[in-house]
Structure 1
Amino acid sequence: MELDNRSVQILQAVASTVKISSKELLEKYALTRNQLDYAVKKINEYLRGNQYPPIIRSRNGSFIVDTKVVDAFSGIMNNESQLKADETSYLDEEHRLLVILLLIFSADYLSLYHFSESLEVSKNTIISDIKKLKQQLRKYKLTIDYSRKEGYYFRGNEEIIRGLILGVTDQVMESIYNRVIFEKYLSVASVEVNHQRDVLQQVEAELHVQYTDNRIQTAPYFLVLLNRRVQNRHYIEQRFGLLAKEIMDTNEYAAIVKVLAGQKKLPKSYTEHLYLCLYMLSLKITDLSNTFSLNTDALRKQIEAFITVLEKNTIIQLNDKTQLIENLALHLTPAYYRIRYGLTSDYTITDMVKHQLDPLFFIVKSSIAPLEEFFEERIPNDEIYLITMFIGAYMQKEKPINLDNTVVKAAVVCPNGIISSKLLENTLDNWFPMIHFVSSFSIREFYEKERELDVQLIFSTNPLETQLPVIVVGNDLSSMNKTLIVNEVIQLIYKIDSYKLQPDHILAIVKKHLPMDTEIEEKIRKELMISYNSIFQIQDQEVLTNEMKLNLADVVNAESILILDEALDWPQVLRLTTENLIERGIVEPGYLAQLEAQFPEVTPSILLGNRIVIPHTVPEHGARSLGMCFAKITQGFVSQNQRYYYVVVISATDRKQHIQPMMQLLKIASDPKIIERLDQAKNKQAILAIIEESKKK
């Protein structure tokens, strides 16, 4: 028997997640209890039919999954999974809607009869599907219309329609039904796809770039569908104006036109071939020639300015900034064309990931002005979220390479571009101090350099054909299950079946013989996890999020607030505020001397929102714990011919705990209305009330 897509997703979720409850599955997939019960029954029939142990649901609603099922069906152990769709597979509603969208995008004439026959469902089902699609498309200001002459067609902005084609194509490519949908339902022949892939590879050669693996796989399908739309006389409106000349004068434009003309693929309309060229320029790349027409030196300078502002707003000094700038330049070069010319982004960030990133995202967005100055456009939030993910992982890269302590050398293989590759590499590097990560590669780069690699282990988002041991990890950080990856690493390096050493496994044995309440159980689990991580040198830290979820109100209390009414100068203010931290044991006495040496005057590097002065230094200069002293100087003080009224001296001991408090402090510093309320505050309680409110915003 075959599983429908919903059952596939549930099976992979249960197999990939060590602790997932029925309630979480109900919420994640918007199911009723009956629907979940039916899906689990269907999954177990499938498992038994393929000689796998069934999934058992415990009394508390969690699932017990045999390790054989984990190995075979989790998205971590086997990213492609053993679940494949064939031409007889029944499409669920979600994928049927995608097919209807793509058919309307690309077909010449479609009636209810065409849909009903090809999708093998009733006309009433198609009518219901189209009604749902119309509701979904309202946010794009698009609608699906029908006429006897034209059949079903889209009405709306052609650029938005093409952006949807790109997004839907990516959705289909990520599905187990991708081959069935493209070949059976859309009649996309492999010869068409291969021809478009050849064109892209010729463009790579002409531009001296290398597209990411996922783009070189999915872009040909988009180009086939785009070509059909143009053949059906759906043309893009002329909108580039003076910007067109900027593009047409570049070497990249000439190179792409040369390839397209040589292949007799150049559209007759200049706006169409301009759109096609822009699309190719906007594709993510893994390698970039120094001869690219875009002024990458100017871009690097603006990236450097962005990093300077970011360091001030996060009070973190980033290491190896040269490499960080190069990696961001590699990502932002194609992003320039997406942003500058309003093209649709070729990736999506899930709402869950966005929620996790919110504190750091706010700080990155507040620091992004130098890049927007270069692009001469506002940078979309999805682009900023991707930069935030990379910065977040990079900020955690604190582990010095000590080859004497490393057990093996490893490489990372990722098809999704430089930002995703480095994000994954930095994450794994932080998790595993015993592994020395030599580099990250695209799939094509890996196969080209495989024989030269001096590594004993590969981490990859896709299965690879290689003699080296490969640990397949999730493609999206939010779906990576650290426990499963850690188990496999331990098995490969130490030759130990670590499933039996897991704290939860040990606790389950203990609880059989010794009842315990929830509080005691959690304390024991925590101590077991600390011991487990220590034995196997596993870092137990979150990569992007503030694990403790501290707020500014948790760091600034009545003891840490000073209201200074007398006339003071900057050295006096700095001494009084820092002594508050010294007296409370948050910093060592030498912290003051360091701040006095670093900041004889107030400089832009310690100004938050041009309102609040935030003197701070690196933890090595005497920071004992996270803390702040918030001072209001009633009469103000003058430094560099500028008067200031607020100083917050900060002590930070790592790169993550203070991120959320800093976000909230930045919001205060950036909001004139809040500053006005602080100006009117007469006592500590009034200031504390304002700070308390900051965590609600």
Structure 2
Amino acid sequence: MDLDNRSVQILQIVASTVKISSKEIMEKYDLTRNQLDYALKKINDYLGENDYRKIIRSRNGSFVVDTKVVDAFSGIMNSESQLKADENSFLDEDHRLLVILLVVFSADYLSLYHFSESLEVSKNTIVSDIKKLKKQLKKHKLTIDYSRKGGYYFRGDEEAIRGLILVVTDQVMDSIYNRLIFEKYLEIQPAEIDAQRKMLRLAEEELQVQYTDNRIQTAPYFLVLLNRRVKNEHFIEQRFGLLAKEIMDTNEYGAIVKVLAGQEMLPKSYTEHLYLCLYILSLKITDLSNIFSLNKDALRTHIETFIAVLEKNTIIQLNDKAQLIENLTLHLTPAYYRIRYGLTSDYTLTDIVKNQLDPLFFIVKSSIAPLEEFFEERIPNDEIYLITMFIGAYMHKEKPINLDNTIVKAAVVCPNGIISSKLLEKTLDNWFPMIHFVSSFSIREFYEKEDMLDVQLIFSTNPLTTELPVIVVGNDLSAMNKTLIVNEVIQLIYKIDSYKLQPDHILSIVKKHLPMTAEAEGKIRKELMISYNSIFQIQDQEILTNETKLNLSDLITKESIIILENELNWLEVLQAATQNLIDREIVEPSYLKHLKEQFPEVTPSILLGNQIVIPHTVPENGALELGMCLAKVKQGFFSQNQTYRYVVVISAIDKKMHIQPMMQLLKIASDPKVIQRLDQAQDKEALLTIIQEFKKA
């Protein structure tokens, strides 16, 4: 059976979107509950006929989707998706708007009649579409205008227009309509794409780099549209100035010009071929074999400084810093061109991922100054989120590699570049201690090295044609998909069906025969999960999420605040604050001894915002529980010719639970108005009132 267009859209959005609800789908597609139920029945019939597990709708209206369905039918990699729109498919409004943007960007003269005929809708619909686009384009400081001589055209900064089209091109590529839009509505010929892809392959050889699979898929389409734009005499303004010389003197610029000239693709305008070179240089790469001409030693030095500031603000020591520095250097090398010259990043993060990252993101952003000093530019938030993802993966205690205890060796295959592949590898590495992950590869690298790999298992975000067992994990390692992935791993490694051993399944049987309270059910589920994970060596660590959701007000309570009236020196203040933790059995007495040895004076490494001193040491020096003590010294104390009034002694027992409280403490330390209010507070209750304002809902 074939699916109708609406069912295709519903299947794609359910497979692509984490935790979307029935209500959201009904609102998005203007459906009644009966219509949605009917569509889901058709979808499940279709999945059943094609040997996929059916989509399950839970009581709260969300959906449980098998990872193989996610991979095959989501918009993540639609160049290989099994859902494709054909020439007879009717575009929905969202994709029709994208077509209008791409056509206005790349065509010469466009009339209302042209849009109406090609998109097969009324002129009134096109007028309405353009009004909607104008509203959306305001945030980019762009608009679409009309003139009798030129038809419809973009008005605004040319760089902003190109940045927008870069994003739109990616959106189209990630849709089921990609072939329909590119071939039918934009009339892009396969020969044009082949020519651009050939050019990029030659650029790879000349630069000794390898672009990611996604870039090789998408970049040629943008380059074809850009070429049309330039032919229609829409040129970039000459804004690079002295910075142009910095790029034009590099070996990379010369190499790309050589390739473009050899393929007869070099624009006549030097600003245009400079823009083209910068775009090619900014494409993601998957290895560090290339040597860019920017000063990598200086970049590494600034990364080291950034990490030192970050460690102070998070009060943790990051693992394997040498490897972290190399991987950040790898990511920030092409990002240098994006950030320094205002090119658009091709990375995208969902709001859900951003919400998970927010506590750590704030601390990373507060520590980013050394990198911004190197780039001599403000680093955009999306780039900081990517750095945050990477840091988050390294914040977990790495399991020691003991090959005697590992059952299989595995590799990770991911087409989305170093950030995504390393994060995926770290996540799986934390989940499965019984597996030794040897490396991560792009799809092309995997096929090139497949015969030489000494592995028994592959984790991939995309289906692969190989004799090795492949577990397709998709690009979203949400909790919703973790159970399915774990089950598949257990079946492959231990040769058993683990479904009937799962805690929820056992609990459902027990509940049929024994009544229990919600509290008892929660405790039993937790113990069953611990036992289940122990049997199969599954770790229950979730990368980047603060599961306990602790706030600063959970750690700084009335019992953990002391107000010191007398005139004291630094070590006396340290003694009083740490004694509070000792008395509450948060730390052992040895903790104080180590603090005094490490910090005989206040040093920059334990200062937040030059206002709050945060002495701390490693958990092995006597930390028993997570805790804090806030000491306010009314008369202040001196150290290193500076006066301080606030000390927060911290006991951290892992690299995760205290991140959100530290974010909130950093916000307090960074806000002079809040510090002034702390100065005015005369008792514990007043201090607590201020601290509780920073509680995250």
Question: Could you say which TM-score interval applies, normalised by the shorter chain?
Answer: over 0.9
| Counterpart residue number, 2:340 | 340
Matched residue of 1:96: which SS? helix
* 1:513 shift after superposition: 4.6
Are 1:353 and 1:478, in contact at CA under 8 Å, matched by a contact in 2?
no
Q: Which consecutive residues of structure 2, in runs of 5 or more, have no partner in the other structure?
A: none
| Counterpart residue number, 1:38 | 35
Residue 520 and residue 115 in structure 1: after superposition, are their counterparts in 2 closer, same or farther (change >3 A)? farther
Aligned counterparts of 1:316 and 1:79: Cα–Cα separation in 2:
42
Alignment of 1:308-327 (within 5 A): 308-327=308-327
Alignment of 1:595-614 (within 5 A): 595-614=595-614
| Counterpart residue number, 1:287 | 287
Instruction: Answer with 204-213 or 618-627: which moved more.
Output: 204-213
* 1:507 shift after superposition: 3.6
* 1:4 shift after superposition: 6.0
| Counterpart residue number, 2:175 | 175
Q: Can you list the C-alpha shifts for 1:577-606, whole angstroms capped at 9, x where unaligned?
A: 111111111111211121122222221111
Alignment of 1:242-641 (within 5 A): 242-289=242-289, 291-477=291-477, 481-514=481-514, 516=516, 518-641=518-641
Q: Out of 24, 29, 34, which is 1:27 matched to? A: 24
Residue 685 and residue 67 in structure 1: after superposition, are their counterparts in 2 closer, same or farther (change >3 A)? closer
Are 1:586 and 1:627, in contact at CA under 8 Å, matched by a contact in 2?
yes
Aligned counterparts of 2:164 and 2:565: Cα–Cα separation in 1:
60
Matched residue of 1:297: which SS? helix
Opposite residue 631 of structure 1, the aligned amino acid is: A
Q: How many residues align?
A: 694
Are 1:79 and 1:463, in contact at CA under 8 Å, matched by a contact in 2?
no
Aligned counterparts of 2:11 and 2:141: Cα–Cα separation in 1:
36
Opposite residue 440 of structure 2, the aligned amino acid is: S
Residue 654 and residue 131 in structure 1: after superposition, are their counterparts in 2 closer, same or farther (change >3 A)? same
* 1:280 shift after superposition: 0.9
Residue 30 and residue 540 in structure 1: after superposition, are their counterparts in 2 closer, same or farther (change >3 A)? farther
Opposite residue 308 of structure 1, the aligned amino acid is: A
Aligned counterparts of 2:107 and 2:314: Cα–Cα separation in 1:
51
* 1:414 shift after superposition: 1.2
Aligned counterparts of 2:222 and 2:254: Cα–Cα separation in 1:
22
Matched residue of 1:655: which SS? coil
Aligned counterparts of 2:139 and 2:71: Cα–Cα separation in 1:
41
Aligned counterparts of 1:536 and 1:54: Cα–Cα separation in 2:
27
| Counterpart residue number, 2:196 | 196
Instruction: Answer with 503-512 or 569-578: which moved more.
Output: 503-512
* 1:214 shift after superposition: 1.1
* 1:104 shift after superposition: 1.3
Opposite residue 370 of structure 1, the aligned amino acid is: P
* 1:382 shift after superposition: 0.4
Aligned counterparts of 2:222 and 2:478: Cα–Cα separation in 1:
27
| Counterpart residue number, 2:84 | 84
Matched residue of 1:694: which SS? coil
Opposite residue 674 of structure 2, the aligned amino acid is: I
Aligned counterparts of 1:518 and 1:126: Cα–Cα separation in 2:
55
Alignment of 1:641-652 (within 5 A): 641-652=641-652
Q: Can you list the C-alpha shifts for 1:476-534, whole angstroms capped at 9, x where unaligned?
A: 45597212211211111112222333333334444445555544443433333222222
Aligned counterparts of 1:630 and 1:437: Cα–Cα separation in 2:
43
Instruction: Answer with 365-374 or 285-294: which moved more.
Output: 285-294
**What TM-score do the two structures reach when normalised by structure 2?**
0.94
**2:683 counterpart of 1:686:** no
Are 2:26 and 2:33, in contact at CA under 8 Å, matched by a contact in 1?
no
Q: Can you list the C-alpha shifts for 1:257-309, whole angstroms capped at 9, x where unaligned?
A: 11111111111111111111111111111123463211011000000000000
Are 1:77 and 1:472, in contact at CA under 8 Å, matched by a contact in 2?
no
Are 1:76 and 1:473, in contact at CA under 8 Å, matched by a contact in 2?
no
Are 1:75 and 1:474, in contact at CA under 8 Å, matched by a contact in 2?
no
* 1:87 shift after superposition: 2.5
* 1:625 shift after superposition: 0.9
* 1:220 shift after superposition: 0.8
Instruction: Answer with 75-84 or 280-289: which moved more.
Output: 75-84
Are 2:110 and 2:151, in contact at CA under 8 Å, matched by a contact in 1?
yes
* 1:166 shift after superposition: 0.5
Instruction: Answer with 566-575 or 659-668: which moved more.
Output: 566-575
Instruction: Answer with 123-132 or 305-314: which moved more.
Output: 123-132
Aligned counterparts of 1:263 and 1:565: Cα–Cα separation in 2:
78
Are 1:474 and 1:480, in contact at CA under 8 Å, matched by a contact in 2?
no
Are 1:463 and 1:472, in contact at CA under 8 Å, matched by a contact in 2?
yes
* 1:314 shift after superposition: 0.2
Residue 112 and residue 32 in structure 1: after superposition, are their counterparts in 2 closer, same or farther (change >3 A)? closer
Matched residue of 1:285: which SS? coil
Aligned counterparts of 2:328 and 2:570: Cα–Cα separation in 1:
38
| Counterpart residue number, 1:231 | 231
| Counterpart residue number, 1:216 | 216
Residue 484 and residue 64 in structure 1: after superposition, are their counterparts in 2 closer, same or farther (change >3 A)? closer
Opposite residue 34 of structure 1, the aligned amino acid is: L
Are 2:47 and 2:54, in contact at CA under 8 Å, matched by a contact in 1?
no
Aligned counterparts of 1:604 and 1:69: Cα–Cα separation in 2:
52
Are 1:213 and 1:443, in contact at CA under 8 Å, matched by a contact in 2?
yes
Aligned counterparts of 1:69 and 1:401: Cα–Cα separation in 2:
33
The root-mean-square deviation of aligned C-alpha atoms, in Å, is 2.6
Q: Can you list the C-alpha shifts for 1:72-96, whole angstroms capped at 9, x where unaligned?
A: 7678999955333333322222222
Aligned counterparts of 1:640 and 1:115: Cα–Cα separation in 2:
71
Are 2:551 and 2:696, in contact at CA under 8 Å, matched by a contact in 1?
no
Aligned counterparts of 1:399 and 1:192: Cα–Cα separation in 2:
49
* 1:69 shift after superposition: 6.9
Aligned counterparts of 2:448 and 2:125: Cα–Cα separation in 1:
49
Matched residue of 1:288: which SS? coil
Matched residue of 1:316: which SS? coil
* 1:333 shift after superposition: 0.7
Aligned counterparts of 1:77 and 1:244: Cα–Cα separation in 2:
36
Aligned counterparts of 2:60 and 2:173: Cα–Cα separation in 1:
37
Q: Can you list the C-alpha shifts for 1:332-366, whole angstroms capped at 9, x where unaligned?
A: 01111111111111122222221111110000000
* 1:49 shift after superposition: 5.2
Q: Can you list the C-alpha shifts for 1:184-234, whole angstroms capped at 9, x where unaligned?
A: 221111111111111111112222222122112211111011001111111
Residue 67 and residue 534 in structure 1: after superposition, are their counterparts in 2 closer, same or farther (change >3 A)? same
Q: Can you list the C-alpha shifts for 1:528-578, whole angstroms capped at 9, x where unaligned?
A: 322222222211122112111110000011111111122222222222211
Opposite residue 155 of structure 1, the aligned amino acid is: R
Aligned counterparts of 1:66 and 1:194: Cα–Cα separation in 2:
35
Instruction: Answer with 509-518 or 331-340: which moved more.
Output: 509-518
* 1:2 shift after superposition: 4.5
Matched residue of 1:34: which SS? coil
| Counterpart residue number, 1:673 | 673
Aligned counterparts of 2:363 and 2:67: Cα–Cα separation in 1:
42
Residue 62 and residue 165 in structure 1: after superposition, are their counterparts in 2 closer, same or farther (change >3 A)? closer
Residue 50 and residue 428 in structure 1: after superposition, are their counterparts in 2 closer, same or farther (change >3 A)? closer
Alignment of 1:51-200 (within 5 A): 51-52=48-49, 61=61, 81-200=81-200
Residue 32 and residue 208 in structure 1: after superposition, are their counterparts in 2 closer, same or farther (change >3 A)? closer
Residue 392 and residue 28 in structure 1: after superposition, are their counterparts in 2 closer, same or farther (change >3 A)? farther
Are 1:76 and 1:480, in contact at CA under 8 Å, matched by a contact in 2?
no
Aligned counterparts of 2:66 and 2:425: Cα–Cα separation in 1:
29
Instruction: Answer with 566-575 or 254-263: which moved more.
Output: 566-575
**What TM-score do the two structures reach when normalised by structure 1?**
0.94
Aligned counterparts of 2:368 and 2:486: Cα–Cα separation in 1:
35
Residue 212 and residue 78 in structure 1: after superposition, are their counterparts in 2 closer, same or farther (change >3 A)? closer
Aligned counterparts of 1:678 and 1:195: Cα–Cα separation in 2:
65
Identity of aligned residues (%): 79
